[in-house]
Amino acid sequence: MAPRAKLIVVMAFSRSDEGELVPAFEAMQFEVEDRAIRTARDLAGKHVGVIAWAREAQPDIGEYGPPTVLFQSGDVPDME
């Protein structure tokens, strides 16, 4: 059985000219939750929405656990 990894991601969002939420840049991955939360807090004042989340992952077999929100500010799309 492959070891489980933790996927930790920060995403920031802007609004398009049509008012839709769009990613401000590519998702950033982190090794530790604390660093992701600090980065998300720093970005919160600069974008309409920011989210940091984590999930257990076994990417080699395509299995991902449910996402857990670590930090959220402003407008972000619903997590799928």
Q: How confident is the model at residue 78 (pLDDT cuts 50, 70, 90)?
A: confident
Q: How far apart are CA 3 and CA 28, in angstroms?
A: 22
End-to-end CA distance of the chain: 26
What is the predicted pLDDT for the residue at 63? Answer: 86
Residue 25 has pLDDT above 80, yes or no: yes
Give me the pLDDT at residue 15, please: 95
Amino acid at 15: R
Rounded distance, CA 9 to CA 75, Å? Answer: 17
The first and second tokens of residue 21, run together, are 């939420």
**Does residue 12 contact residue 49 with C-beta atoms inside 8 Å?**
yes
6 pLDDT more than 60: yes
DSSP 8-state class, residue 4: P
